[in-house]
């Protein structure tokens, strides 16, 4: 059997109209209704017509959780992954698929995470493409208010920190492209410490189960099924770096030959392609990508 990993994208992969094809499936419609009861607002309304809300952290994160988890649940009728991982917010879907918590608990955690992160202010993030890694690491070391937030691939990273610090690094690093990101704060940095402390209390109130599928965590890219380790890693995620490049390097190390990205877009399969070779890459972005026998 071909060993397969499922990976789940995070914020930035959302697109207007995503998930609306799922309304033709009775099980999915029920999930949207259940989600509205937990969230207090309609995913369908936002995905159909409100691009401004869709791009706001408060709404983006719960919407991605719901749509990606529904696609994963449908796909599970046909096959099961040998390993799971998610990028930032995507880690919550990975943990749900691995059986660490139930669906409504996961959505509650994501809802509260999104609310807390949406209120965070005062920071800035920027994506850098095709840069000199050694030079960048030196600049970050010399700029105390900036960190490497997302190490996505050998040629693409995101930095985070104070606006002055991020702009300084952007102006000094030799990169093909340096793009400021539209975020409400400096995510995955020390600027999220207060938010992480608030969220810690919420995480502490939730019981994690041992995973039935090994999970590669953002802050510690080695697979584990241990509930306490997975929770501890998640508590560090809001302020810690997303070590996606290292997660990808772990895939072949763990015998993975095939990777399925479950969720809108193809960001993660693109990053994987630029990091390792020889893996079969697939995307399940909508019901059109699902095996025919899964769509009922």
Q: Which of 69, 153, 160, 188 is catalytic?
A: 188
Whether 241 sits among the annotated catalytic residues: the reply is no
Residues contacting residue 227 through CB under 8 Å, at least 6 positions apart: 100, 208, 209, 210, 211
Per-residue burial over 63-72, b = 16 or more CB atoms within 10 Å of its CB, e = otherwise: bbbbbbbbbb
Compute the distance between CA of residue 292 and CA of residue 170 in angstroms, rounded to an integer.
Answer: 47
Q: Is 15 helix (H, G, I), strand (E, B) or coil?
A: coil
Which residue, 100, 39, 38, 33, is CA-closest to 70? Answer: 33
Q: Is 254 helix (H, G, I), strand (E, B) or coil?
A: coil
At residue 146, what are phi and psi to the nearest 5 degrees? -130, 140
Whether 188 sits among the annotated catalytic residues: the reply is yes
Cβ atoms of 239 and 190 within 8 Å: the answer is yes
- Distances in Å between the Cα of 221 and the Cα atoms of 46, 131, 215, 255, 265 are 34, 23, 9, 15, 23
Lay out the sheet containing 83-86: strands in order across. 215-216, 83-86, 4-8, 258-262, 280-284
Which residue, 81, 110, 34, is CA-closest to 215? Answer: 81
Q: Which of 69, 88, 217, 241 is catalytic?
A: 88
- Distances in Å between the Cα of 11 and the Cα atoms of 31, 46, 144, 258, 277 are 21, 15, 26, 24, 25
- Tell me the helix, strand and coil percentages in the chain, rounded to 5: 50, 20, 35
Q: Active-site residue numbers?
A: 88, 188
């Amino acid at each position: 059997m071909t060993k397969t990993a499922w990976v789940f994208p995070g914020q930035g992969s959302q697109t207007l109209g995503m998930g609306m094809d799922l309304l033709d499936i009775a099980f999915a419609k029920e999930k949207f209704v259940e989600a509205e009861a937990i969230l207090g607002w309609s995913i369908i309304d936002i995905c159909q017509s409100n691009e401004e809300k869709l791009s706001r952290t408060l709404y983006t994160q719960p919407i991605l959780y719901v749509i990606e988890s529904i696609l994963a649940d449908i796909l599970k009728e046909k096959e099961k992954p040998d390993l799971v991982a998610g990028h930032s917010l995507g880690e919550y879907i990975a943990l749900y698929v691995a059986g660490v918590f139930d669906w409504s608990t996961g959505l509650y955690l994501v809802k509260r995470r999104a609310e807390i992160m949406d209120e965070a202010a005062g920071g800035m993030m920027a994506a850098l493409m095709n840069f000199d890694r050694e030079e960048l690491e030196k600049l970050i070391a010399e700029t105390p208010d900036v960190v490497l937030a997302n190490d996505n691939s050998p040629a693409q990273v995101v930095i985070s920190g104070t606006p002055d610090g991020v702009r300084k690094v952007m102006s000094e690093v030799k990169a093909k492209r340096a793009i400021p990101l539209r975020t409400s704060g400096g995510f995955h940095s020390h600027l999220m410490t207060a938010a992480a402390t608030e969220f810690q209390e919420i995480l502490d109130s939730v019981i994690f189960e041992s995973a039935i599928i090994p999970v590669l965590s953002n802050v510690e890219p080695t697979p584990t099924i241990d509930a306490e380790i997975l929770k501890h890693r998640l508590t560090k995620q809001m302020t810690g770096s997303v070590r996606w490049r290292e997660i990808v390097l772990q895939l072949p190390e763990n015998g993975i030959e095939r990777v399925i990205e479950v969720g809108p877009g193809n960001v993660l399969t693109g990053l994987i392609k630029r990091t390792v070779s020889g893996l079969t890459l697939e995307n399940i972005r909508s019901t059109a990508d699902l095996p025919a026998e899964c769509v009922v």
